[in-house]
Structure 1
Amino acid sequence: MAMANPKNYFSSNFKLGILGGGQLGKMLLYETRKFDIHTIVMDASEDAPCKIACNEFVLGDLMDFDAVYNLGQKVDVLTIEIENVNVDALEKLEREGMKIYPPTKALRIIQNKAKQKLFYVDKGIPTADFQRFAYKSEIEDSISNGGMKFPFVWKAARFGYDGQGVNVVRKLEDLNGLPEGECITEELVDFKNELSVIVARSVSGEVKCYPVVEMEFHPEANQVEYVICPARIDTKVAQKAQETALRASDALQHVGLLAVELFQTQDDRILVNEVAPRPHNSGHYSIEASYTNQFEQHIRAILDLPLGDTRSKVAGIMVNLVGAEGHTGDVVYENMEEILRLGGVTPHIYGKKQTRPFRKMGHVTIVNEAITEARRIAQQVKETIKVISK
């Protein structure tokens, strides 16, 4: 393994490894370049967005034991931008003294939604009622025996992301076509708001919390359309949301960022939906709106540097740019000039050359002194820009 002097990260021989080369990694690299930290990124795609910004790019499957283990041999600290990685390889590296953040113990729990839910129950962290199934066929047995009622939410235990692997089941036929393997079912929570809190925890245990954000979802794609910071909620609810996120963070003892997705119920209870141990879509607003954006904060946390100020300088709203329905192929961003004429608008294009329906292709941040005005402009952006194919 490469060796470097402790904390001599800048313009030095220190090497940071990143598993995953998508847009989260690309935005993480804005910060490593700012600090002149040498990076080695591994991804399975030759066209990974990270490729243009890292010092070294390795083509490799993140689920392949040898590929992950070999990358670990080349770096001083290893982090992730996606949870779906080979944890067995990471555990071996960790046993050999490699610094891996988030630690594999936290990653093992988070990687599997069934384990994650059982962990919350074990730690007394509020979450929606759920049942765990080894096979999808067991759900049908449970329904016919009266053990389950419609509607409920089905979630694959592994490999779900961006609305994939999550379905609302309202009738028996809705189970058709869903994967057969391990899964959980959850009661359909009657919520007022979907919220998110990002918690940063450094190697030596310094902890900081970002403001609560509110997420507005696309009704069909089950993807976030808008992230609104600060959330338009009562102060007491915001406090409870942050406290719940901090409890989850403390229980998991992660290092780096933990994005905690929450439900605010009709009677203002706060339930943990799920967590992600990395930079997160709900923190993108922070690039323009915060004193310390989430990506810089992740770097600070995993390198055990002092954590930055998590407060917002200004209200921020993030609009996801996803591929338009009916469009697959070479991407075209229509009406970009029109949105650039609007005040406080910053587009981020992820570098994916091919679009397809609902694929995350970029995001736009709108900052404004007033949250209502930011939300109005965000709507205008959403209605104007189109992600289509040639």
Structure 2
Amino acid sequence: MPVKENPNYFSSNFNLGILGGGQLGKMMLYETRKFDIRTKVLDASSEAPSKIACNQFVQGDLMDYQTVLDFATDVDVLTIEIENVNVEALEKLEDQGKTVYPPTKALRIIQNKAKQKLFYVDNQIPTADFSRFAYKSEIKDSIENGGLQFPFIWKAAQFGYDGQGVKVVRKMEDLNALPPGECIAEEIIDFKNELAVIVCRSANGEIKTYPVVEMEFHPEANQVEYVICPARIDEKVAERAQEVALKVSEKIEHVGLLAVELFQTQTDEILVNEVAPRPHNSGHYSIEASYTNQFEQHIRAILNLPLGETKSKVAGIMVNLVGAEGHTGDVHYQNIEEILAMEGVTPHIYGKKQTRPFRKMGHVTIVNQDISKARQIAQQVKETIKVISK
């Protein structure tokens, strides 16, 4: 039988729709422009970072059923750059024959952290022990009846993002500041490292993984400060992390990228923390350090094109640029010229005009043949550049 050819995506009328116009969408659009693939983006903000790079921009609510349906009428393939989208609309589009990646079946699991955790249990995927609550009031009842003990990690079941919707609860009073609604209470893991593996799966089932990366988090904002590739871990631990990530990918049946965040415990167990079905902060290093960056790989996967090489050319470290505490207003990148003068340093500015404390405004990649040297330069970068208001 003859091989079925893909549609002509390049310099054609093919239209790729992207739900979400933030920085992940903007960096995805670098790759569609490289390939001359036509794009249409939906975002609620008139100043969305992706607006300048797509062929057509539509302002609208990603959670509104009719808005998403209307947006997709003239797109050939629909993808996301954020999970907080109207899944009912995506299911309707799938029923109508529209190609949607990741599939809504996978997105429904991932979009809700309680469902996500139950999915791990049902599929024998190692994860931290947890309890699920429909209402915040149930947490207090559980504590008073001896079912739940301090401290624990509280996570909102839905709409958490960039460290929001996650809190450490150490005493009863801490519950007062939490919003109502469905949530989980998760055991605090005594871990050596927080790791991540990005798995890429194309529509025809081709699968590739990126090297295991190590993540260092800001203790207050619960945001990644550094992503280090390759992770500075034992080879057997890295192999186990890859195995667990691949099992999650296989069971969840996503198409595109799946970033699998993991804990390495003190006894070298690998536990799944959570996943994201899209390009991810833990893969930003790949823009400069990998043969095929994560954004190009996502495009290849959802369009059923051959996947690219995932190996690194050099060691890479990513430093997040977030708004400095005490600064809100028009953004200014203080000392950016100084970091540009450093060896192997590339800043990426997301295009958000207004800064506020801990808002993600950009990132910096540092590449070097020597991972320890790259880490030293990353520290210099972190201490030099400041995201402040004018």
**Please, what TM-score do these two structures have when normalized by structure 2?**
0.99
Question: Match for residue 51 of structure 2?
Answer: 51
How many Å separate the matches in 2 of 1:178 and 1:74? 41
Question: Match for residue 14 of structure 2?
Answer: 14
How many Å separate the matches in 2 of 1:37 and 1:378? 34
Question: Match for residue 249 of structure 1?
Answer: 249
Identical residues among aligned pairs (%) = 80
The one-letter amino acid of 2:27's match is: M
Give the deviation of 1:71 after TM superposition: 1.2
Tell me the alpha carbon deviations over residues 314-373 of structure 1, each in whole angstroms, 9 at most, x when there is no partner: 000000000000000000000001001100000000000000000000000000000000
The one-letter amino acid of 2:329's match is: G
Question: Match for residue 232 of structure 1?
Answer: 232
User: Is structure 2 residue 362 aligned with structure 1 residue 378?
Assistant: no
Question: Match for residue 268 of structure 2?
Answer: 268
Superposition pairs for residues 77-96 of structure 1, below 5 Å? 77-96=77-96
Question: Match for residue 304 of structure 1?
Answer: 304
Give the deviation of 1:72 after TM superposition: 1.3
Give the deviation of 1:177 after TM superposition: 1.6
SS at match of 2:177: coil
How many Å separate the matches in 2 of 1:351 and 1:175? 36
Give the deviation of 1:389 after TM superposition: 0.1
Give the deviation of 1:291 after TM superposition: 0.2
Question: Match for residue 107 of structure 1?
Answer: 107
Question: Match for residue 24 of structure 1?
Answer: 24
Question: Match for residue 316 of structure 1?
Answer: 316
Give the deviation of 1:46 after TM superposition: 0.1
Question: Match for residue 325 of structure 2?
Answer: 325
Question: Match for residue 158 of structure 1?
Answer: 158
How many Å separate the matches in 2 of 1:192 and 1:151? 19
Q: Which runs of 5+ in 1 are unaligned?
A: none
Tell me the alpha carbon deviations over residues 276-317 of structure 1, each in whole angstroms, 9 at most, x when there is no partner: 000000000000000000000000000000000000000000
Give the deviation of 1:7 after TM superposition: 2.5
The one-letter amino acid of 1:264's match is: Q
The one-letter amino acid of 1:160's match is: G
Q: Which runs of 5+ in 2 are unaligned?
A: none
Question: Match for residue 145 of structure 1?
Answer: 145
Tell me the alpha carbon deviations over residues 67-113 of structure 1, each in whole angstroms, 9 at most, x when there is no partner: 10111111000000000000000000001110000000000000000
Give the deviation of 1:176 after TM superposition: 1.1
How many Å separate the matches in 2 of 1:354 and 1:127? 37
How many Å separate the matches in 1 of 2:368 and 2:119? 39
The one-letter amino acid of 2:307's match is: L
How many Å separate the matches in 2 of 1:73 and 1:248? 32
How many Å separate the matches in 1 of 2:388 and 2:182? 36
SS at match of 1:176: helix
How many Å separate the matches in 1 of 2:387 and 2:350? 12
How many Å separate the matches in 1 of 2:357 and 2:212? 29
How many Å separate the matches in 1 of 2:318 and 2:340? 15
Judge conservation of contact 2:6–2:304 (CA < 8 Å) in 1: no
Question: Match for residue 343 of structure 1?
Answer: 343
The one-letter amino acid of 1:211's match is: P
The one-letter amino acid of 2:196's match is: S
The one-letter amino acid of 1:168's match is: V
SS at match of 1:193: strand
Tell me the alpha carbon deviations over residues 142-170 of structure 1, each in whole angstroms, 9 at most, x when there is no partner: 00001111110000000001010000001
Give the deviation of 1:52 after TM superposition: 0.3
**For this pair of structures, how many residues does the alignment match?**
386
How many Å separate the matches in 2 of 1:119 and 1:249? 12
How many Å separate the matches in 1 of 2:43 and 2:253? 27
Give the deviation of 1:6 after TM superposition: 3.6
SS at match of 1:197: strand
Tell me the alpha carbon deviations over residues 49-82 of structure 1, each in whole angstroms, 9 at most, x when there is no partner: 0000000000110000011011111100000000
How many Å separate the matches in 1 of 2:337 and 2:6? 46
SS at match of 1:348: strand
Question: Match for residue 362 of structure 1?
Answer: 362
How many Å separate the matches in 2 of 1:6 and 1:214? 36
The one-letter amino acid of 2:290's match is: S
Question: Match for residue 39 of structure 1?
Answer: 39
How many Å separate the matches in 2 of 1:243 and 1:7? 33
How many Å separate the matches in 1 of 2:71 and 2:242? 36
The one-letter amino acid of 2:52's match is: I
Superposition pairs for residues 201-216 of structure 1, below 5 Å? 201-216=201-216
How many Å separate the matches in 1 of 2:381 and 2:178? 34
SS at match of 1:119: helix
How many Å separate the matches in 1 of 2:295 and 2:353? 23
SS at match of 1:288: helix
The one-letter amino acid of 2:23's match is: Q
The one-letter amino acid of 1:300's match is: R
How many Å separate the matches in 2 of 1:336 and 1:242? 36
How many Å separate the matches in 1 of 2:140 and 2:264? 30
How many Å separate the matches in 2 of 1:301 and 1:23? 20
